[in-house]
Structure 1
Amino acid sequence: MTIDWDNLGFDYIKTPFRYISNWKDGQWDDGKLTEDNTLHIHEGSAALHYGQQCFEGLKAYRCKDGSINLFRVDENSKRMNRSAKRLLMAEVPEDKFIQAVEEVVKANEAFIPPYGSGGTLYVRPLLVGVGEGIGVHSAPEFIFTVFCMPVGAYFKGGLTPTNFVFSDYDRAAPQGTGAIKVGGNYAASLLPGEEAKERSFSDCIYLDPATHTKIEEVGSANFFGITNDDRFITPLSPSILPSITKYSLLYLAEHKLGMEAVEEDVYIDSLEEFKEAGACGTAAVISPIGGIQTYDDFHVFYSETEVGPVTQKLYDELTGIQFGDIPAPDGWIRNIKI
């Protein structure tokens, strides 16, 4: 397979190996690598009928010396287990999760984009409820699998400002599953996202489901803003997915850029308080927001064509750590040497 490393999109590309492990009768088997990229599951599987499944997303980065970095993989493990607990699924032990990710990355090392190309190896751990059943209850068996593929920028154009629009749809209920990474949240976002794209926006922005007065998420990413007095702010809500990228940026804004960095309410009628804004997440990394279409106005932040200076510094700091060019805070990086 010939891959154009400099022009990768965010699309599925079959790589040779993936990991699979089965939970049955109260325990996980040892798990193994396989070349089969098809899951074989019972027609009565709870994942198919009742959405009992959750997933994660993380990346492997090629460093200048040829080694490979995994970024905060332990946090992905913890978040998957929070999702599993909320959905009454078998939790995956952290050491098993990390071992599975490392095995898949090593086995598909040839598909990790070269250092300097801007590409990464996207890794997708997936946990699904399977086995015979039809009633509304937890599945009798579970499959944990991890697969990967090389990817480029999630939003076309990479680190280029794009525009978003408010949505009247709710992403999640106030006490629902918004804070866990369950597929149903994303299925519910397909229609509003498509409607936003039909209006030539990158995606939609969801407001809090209780009052529709506060920003929650930007499509499938978290929102952040830089205020006019240089504070880093990201929304606080029990129905927002706790993005590992977001919490990394909160740390970097405070400890590397010397900014006040907080989670607090971001009201839609206070956008003029922000000089820069962006979306962040594992897939998106950082996507600067040029402007937001509100109900009666189009608000532009720093620029519709240029990246703001603070956003650029945060991006350089984060990606520098991920690719091994900047020293990382303790525990953030697992380096794999091939």
Structure 2
Amino acid sequence: MGNESINWDTLGFDYIKTDKRYLAHWRNGEWEKGALTDDNQLHISEGSTALHYGQQCFEGLKAYRCKDGSINLFRPDQNALRMQRSCDRLLMPGVSIEQFIEACKEVVKANERFIPPYGTGGALYLRPFVIGVGDNIGVRTAPEFIFSVFCIPVGAYFKGGMKPHKFLISTYDRAAPQGTGAAKVGGNYAASLLPGKKAKEKGFADCIYLDPLTHTKIEEVGSANFFAITKDDKFVTPKSPSVLPGITRLSLIELAKSRLGLEVVEGDVYIDKLGDFKEAGACGTAAVITPIGGIEYQDKLNVFYSETEVGPVTQRLYNELTGIQKGDVEAPEGWIVKV
């Protein structure tokens, strides 16, 4: 059954109510068997820790329609593992990899009519999350939890092709040195709203955060990971305990090595060494790669490959990864789970 009401060409990244979502409760020390529901409203206690103390985490991944009509999930095991780490950090019960992947598969199958057709550049975006619920008021871990997965169809991130964006180095911190930066928790995103708004008001796509301890090293780009290509063809990306370990970042590291033959360096990316890079980008689930045309730091714009053209290495990485996701390029073992 198709979905004639959706214009796949104009689809953006907006909430759309789909047919079914998955819901499971944790009570009496274990996760109950989850089920699909039509209801997109959560009914939770006013004392829920998710509302008062930010005890919640989430994930983002996509399902893709392939040329042969089959459906690909891209590395869902990595999202499951990261969500377990986020849960550990906030004293929430983890969800097993099996339950996580099964929930994602069920949601994709139940909402298959919302998957954008092959060739449109769109995908079905999945949003798994865990929240602390139940009657409570003290600062402690919740008596009960909810694990849910819902989905929305999303369009091609760049209408009319990938293009570079400019970013501003922020004076704000995204996370504390020993804080929750490596966990995918809502508080990190709430903290980024104001700096992001200020950067956009100045005409930038978003801001880039420096390391919270010394403010000398690049850590993250808005809600994405940073990478750069050096003039001698090394793939460089920040390594820090307060950076979210992105699945797209992890995949680009592996592809840069195995498919493009680049040396990969995970380490310190000093802000005063921007001149060493010929290309730069932000990577994440939504856009896959956002090429960085320039970075403004202390009122000076540092331009990489070009403010208007995508660099050749960035383009090759993008083509390789998106080709794997939609089934047109052979995937490394274990990267694709068929629904």
- TM-score of the pair, normalised by structure 2: 0.98
Aligned partners of 1:154, 1:176: CA distance in 2, in Å? Answer: 31
2:306 corresponds to: 303
Which sections of structure 1, spanning at least 5 residues, go unmatched? none
CA offset at residue 155 of structure 1? 6.3
Q: Deviations over 1:119-146 (max 9, x none)?
A: 0110000100000000000000000000
Corresponding residue for 1:25?
Answer: 28
1:335 CA drift (Å): 1.4
- The correspondence of residues 41-80 of structure 1 with structure 2, limited to 5 A, is 41-80=44-83
What is aligned with 1:279? 282
User: Is the deviation greater in 135-144 or in 292-301?
Assistant: 292-301
Structure 2 regions of 5+ residues with no counterpart?
none
1:8, distance to aligned residue in structure 2 (A): 1.5
C-alpha separation between the residues in 2 aligned to 1:39 and 1:57?
A: 19
Residues 67-96 of structure 1 show CA distances to partners (whole Å, capped at 9, x for unaligned) of: 100000000000000000110001111111
- Give distance in 1, aligned partners of 2:85 and 2:280: 29
Share of identical aligned residues, percent?
71
Instruction: Choose from 284, 289, 292 the match for 2:292.
Output: 289
Residue 82 in structure 1 maps to residue 102 in structure 2: no
Match of 2:215 in 1: 212
Q: Residue 223 of structure 1 corresponds to which residue in structure 2? A: 226
TM-score (norm 1): 0.98
Deviation at 1:305, TM superposition (A): 0.8
* Correspondence for 2:190: 187
Q: SS where residue 82 of structure 2 aligns?
A: helix
Query: Given the alignment of the two structures, is residue 331 of structure 1 paired with residue 329 of structure 2, yes or no?
Result: no
CA distance in 2, matches of 1:164, 1:63: 34
Of residues 165, 168, 171, the one that matches 1:165 is 168
Let me know the Cα RMSD of the aligned residues.
Answer: 1.0
The CA deviation string for residues 208-246 of structure 1, in whole angstroms up to 9 with x for no partner, is 000101000000000000000000000010000000100
CA distance in 2, matches of 1:333, 1:194: 36
Contact kept? 2:120, 2:156, Cα under 8 Å? no
Q: For the Cα contact (< 8 Å) 1:322–1:333, is it kept in 2? A: yes
Distance 2:123 2:161 in 1: 13
The one-letter code matched in structure 1 to 2:126 is V
Q: Secondary structure at the match of 2:33?
A: coil
Corresponding residue of 1:101 = 104
What count of residue pairs does the alignment treat as equivalent?
Answer: 336
- Could you tell me which residue of structure 2 aligns to residue 196 of structure 1? 199
**Deviation at 1:152?**
2.1
What is the deviation of 1:207? 0.3
